[in-house]
Structure 1
């Protein structure tokens, strides 16, 4: 397999004169990122042309909708890195009844199926799932059943 990097360091041609000598360890570093002020300032080059304003004096507004996922956790235990103890572990789950669980039980009562009222409280797919760290047992998040 061929080496990825050249065996000898790159050198300037013999006839060229460098204005300043740069140490070898700084030649391989990428340029430094811009400072916070440079990154957050808006320059005229990046904004583009000004939008056309209608002659009637009304302006149009554009709305941007950002959808944020409610929870990265699912209905089953999963392997995650705990933000509290920083260990990789499988989450421990516990199930908690939600309004859907109570609604199903109420509907079973209305149909006079009293012996089946406890079933929604025994079925995990009718309840929310709380995730806890498998190592430190701290709360991580909830998967809400809709």
Structure 2
């Protein structure tokens, strides 16, 4: 079965209160469509500075100030902390677990090189030599890591 489409768009009856873009006259068409946004050059262009008589020899200087915001890499610290979990939305204290990092392995390797074989396991038992992973105390979701450097 073939579908038959009209050759021209249908227009609203003259008596209805609906106004469509297809029934608008060309001179009113620009009022119905939104204006085009400015180009990149127009949006980023600085206004031209005008100089009065006698000021043509000295250019106007402008000073720009830059603010640098330093965002910490992780809001979590080495100890458990009270937070609102983003997953279960409960106010809980985080559960922490420790995970060895490259520093832990390096200290163990150095202890081996100095032939302190009985002390090689110490970096793996001391929490200050490992990273701290934080988990929600209620739903047990991973929240973040405190990296020791």
**Coarse TM-score class (shorter-chain normalised):** 0.5 to 0.7
How many Å separate the matches in 2 of 1:80 and 1:122? 27
Aligned to 1:144: 147
Aligned to 2:95: 92
Aligned to 2:61: 52
Q: Does residue 105 in structure 1 map to residue 114 in structure 2?
A: no
Q: Does residue 129 in structure 1 map to residue 110 in structure 2?
A: no
Give 1:68 shift: 0.8
TM-score, scaled to structure 2: 0.56
Aligned to 2:15: none
Q: How many residues align?
A: 93
How many Å separate the matches in 1 of 2:129 and 2:148? 7
CA offsets, 1:34-78, max 9 Å, x none?
Answer: xxxxxxx99x9xxxxxx727xxxxxx9876532110111110111
Q: Which has the larger radius of gyration?
A: 2
CA offsets, 1:81-103, max 9 Å, x none?
Answer: 00010000110000000111011
TM-score, scaled to structure 1: 0.58
